[in-house]
Structures are given as C-alpha cells and as structure tokens.
C-alpha cells in the first residue's frame, strides 16, 4: 500500500449527532443522569476549588447529592467543612451553602457528603455550542457550579473521588471523577520549574 493516502474519517454534522443522540436515548432509555465536567485543576490545602456538573438525562425534582471519598478522609488527614452550590434555573442563579457531613459507610470507611434534595435537575440541555455559549454569557446557564475548600496536611499528593448522583436514579445516573489533592501551596509554581 505504499504511496496510497489513507482517507480521513468524515466528521459528523449537527443533524447526524442529534440523530445518534436520539437513537441512543430510544434504545438506552432517558433516565435522570448527571455528569461532572472535567477540569485540569488540583485541590490545594486551604484554597477554594471549583468544579461543575450538569444534567445528561431527563428532569427530576427529587434532587441530588455530592460526595468525596478517599483513604486520607478515612485517616482524618483530608477534611471539608462546606460546599457552595450555584445553580442556574434559566432565569437567575441560586446560591446554596451546605455543610459537608463526614459519614461512616457500612464498610467502615468515611465520606463527606452534601444533600441537595430541594434543588431540581433540569432536562439535559441539547443546544449547540454557539447557543450554549450565548446562554453562558447571558448568565442563564443551567449547570451546577460547586465550590469547596479542602483541608489537607498530608506530605504526599492523594486522589479524592468526587461522586455526583441524582436521588431518582442513584445507580446508573451517577458520575464520578478523581481529583488530586496537595498540601503544597506552591504546587503550580513548583510544577513550572520542572
């Protein structure tokens, strides 16, 4: 096959993406589901950390919860006191501050958890990128913005598991992500030196 150029795969258009999304929903169901939006940040002891989530399924008025789990929480070296939620409902932002409670699970391990049973989950936003950007700039975004400040005194970096789950569909509607945590306040400056 020397000399032959491989064809690049064709990119799909918005109409094709919508058709695939609709067919997926038809066969996989349209349950209440949540998704965490990935970011490249790291949690640093004493500094506010922000992460976002959004609906990726149907609407629900039963609310959701956020939890944090890792070995350092079990050992008492990683702590959280409060979580701030900024939730958009298409017309105004609502700010809610909750205490993160340290809870012992049935397996003997500890997690921090906050319950938002009074916050409705909107239906998944199926707008295109341009419309989403306009919505974001107008302040009418329906994403959930979370802010936490970790207390971490460990010498080594650790990873914490963040879980975001709807009460209406806990098992298959949840999403998770891992985030590094450090006690090094100069983490970013030190990483530039490497």
Q: Which of 140, 39, 162 is nearest to 94 (CA)?
A: 140
Domain boundaries, the chain: 30-193
pLDDT tens across 82-127, in order?
A: 999 988 655 467 889 999 999 999 999 999 999 999 999 988 877 6
**Cβ-contact 95, 33 below 8 angstroms:** no
Please state the rounded mean pLDDT for residues 46-72: 94
Strands, E assignment, 70-143: 78-79, 82-88, 93-99, 101-104, 110-116
**CATH 3.40.190.10, applies to 30-193:** no
State the pLDDT at residue 179.
96
State the pLDDT at residue 24.
57
Please state the rounded mean pLDDT for residues 27-37: 79
C-alpha 145/C-alpha 25 separation (Å) is: 26
pLDDT confidence tier of residue 23, bands split at 50, 70 and 90: low
């Amino acid at each position: 096959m020397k000399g032959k150029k491989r064809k690049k795969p064709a990119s799909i258009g918005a109409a094709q993406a919508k058709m695939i999304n609709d067919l997926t929903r038809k066969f996989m169901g349209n349950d209440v589901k949540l998704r965490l939006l990935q970011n490249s940040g790291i949690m640093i002891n004493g500094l506010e950390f922000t992460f976002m989530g959004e609906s990726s399924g149907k609407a629900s008025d039963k609310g959701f919860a956020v939890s944090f789990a890792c070995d350092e929480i079990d050992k008492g070296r990683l702590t959280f006191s409060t979580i701030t939620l900024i939730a958009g409902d298409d017309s105004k932002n609502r700010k809610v501050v909750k205490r993160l409670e340290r809870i012992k699970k049935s397996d003997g391990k500890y997690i921090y958890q906050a319950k938002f049973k009074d916050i409705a989950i909107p239906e998944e936003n199926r707008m295109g990128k341009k419309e989403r950007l306009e919505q974001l700039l107008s302040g009418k975004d329906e994403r959930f913005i979370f802010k936490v400040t970790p207390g971490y005194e460990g010498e080594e970096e650790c990873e914490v598991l963040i879980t975001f789950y709807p009460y209406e569909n806990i098992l298959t509607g949840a999403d998770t992500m891992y985030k590094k945590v450090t006690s090094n306040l100069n983490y970013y400056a030190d990483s530039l030196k490497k």
